[in-house]
Amino acid sequence: MMIENWRSGLIWELTRSIPVFSRGLKRAGFEGGWLTPGAA
């Protein structure tokens, strides 16, 4: 998975498209980066 993500960015692209995933990261205290509205 790491190689594919490095090669194409597919893993992060798919991860960002799942609302439950980003909501969970925010609830866990993560912020900034692509979690900031308009940053993706």
The pLDDT assigned to 34 comes to 84
Which DSSP state fits 36?
S
The pLDDT assigned to 35 comes to 86
Specify whether the CB–CB gap between 34 and 40 falls below 8 A.
Answer: yes
CA dist 8 and 4 (Å) reads 6
User: 0.85 cut: is pTM over it?
Assistant: no
Q: Which of 28, 25, 1, 24 is nearest to 12 (CA)?
A: 1
Q: What is the pLDDT tens value at each position of the chain, 40 positions in all?
A: 889 889 999 998 998 899 999 999 999 999 998 888 776 5
